Amino acid sequence: MLDQTPGASPVHKISPPGVPVIKQVNWGGLRTLYVKEVRRFFKVQLQTVWAPAVTTLLYLVIFTVALGARAAVPVGTTTVAFADFVAPGLIVMGMMTNAFANSSFSLLVGKMQGTIVDYLMPPLSTAELLAGLVGAAVTRAFVVGAALWVAMLLWPGVHVGMANPLAVLWFGLMGALLLSFLGVLTSIWADKFDHSAAVTNFVVQPLALLSGTFYSISKLKPAFQAVSHANPIFYVISGFRSGFLGVADSPVLFGAVLLLAINVVMGVLCYVLLRSGWKIKN
């Protein structure tokens, strides 16, 4: 800031230590971080977008061939074809796993390569840093989800027309945010790729595979139904599927509110840990 006194030479005023120069949201810095993270996964899109899409399509092919595309599956008070039942779950499962992969990568690689300072030194607040990382992860999730939806839309014997697009967007967003925040927590805690792989193999994949993606929980015994209802990803799958089929295995409104509450808690936890610098600044 320049001294505007008439006749005086311009003098640069330096803010005292600890007084922020950018007192509002640093939109330029936030946009730069977001674009950088999006470009990072787009540079290797064969690995980050198309490979997961092909893998998920293989799940669809294998399960529909093995179990029969037109086999009836009970959902709520009605039955639907198995291919139509499993397709939405596969789409949102692909979205969530890719959101986790993206958000768990940046800070972890920075810690391992000694480039974490590139995230800590720019004039970004903790909230802006978190928003940039999570925003890019959610973007990757929706890019993968869109690719899967278009592929399944063209796939013979599968119907993925949307009965409620708002439910599709909401539960897709909630699922992507949930795994994005989990990925950030993992990247803060992890010191090497083995730690991140452990969370993927022992937390993310079991929760995703045991969430009712490939089966209706109405076929399970009450004890196992209770376990499914304790899995937050179950509500993502059920709510996202209801956006396509118009029916769900669980109360849609309850799931929508529950996932929002969980994401708020996860977001606050990520913010607190990032702000403290735990395992990042030391």
Residue 17 pLDDT: 63
The pLDDT of residue 84 is: 87
| Domain assignments of the chain as residue spans, ordered by start | 28-276
What amino acid occupies position 219? Answer: K
List beta partners, residue 74.
79
pLDDT in tens, 259-277: 999 999 999 999 999 999 8
- Looking at residue 2, its pLDDT comes to 46
What are 58's strand-pairing partners? none
Count of C-beta atoms within a 10 Å radius of residue 34: 18
Ramachandran angles phi, psi of 196, nearest 5°: -65, -40
For 282, the 3-state DSSP assignment is coil
Residue 83: what pLDDT? 85
**R_g over Cα of the chain:** 22
Closest CA to 169 of 236, 230, 102: 236
- pLDDT tens per residue, range 122-177: 889 999 999 999 999 999 999 999 999 998 888 888 888 999 999 999 999 999 99
Nearest in space to 37 (alpha carbons), one of 176, 113, 130, 148:
130
Instruction: Tell me how far apart the alpha carbons of residues 239 and 244 are, in angstroms, rounded to a whole number.
Output: 9
Residue 249 CB-density burial (10 A; 0-12 exposed, 13-18 middle, 19+ buried)? buried
CA 23/CA 116 separation, integer angstroms? 24
Q: Which residues in the chain show pLDDT less than 70?
A: 1-23, 66-71, 282
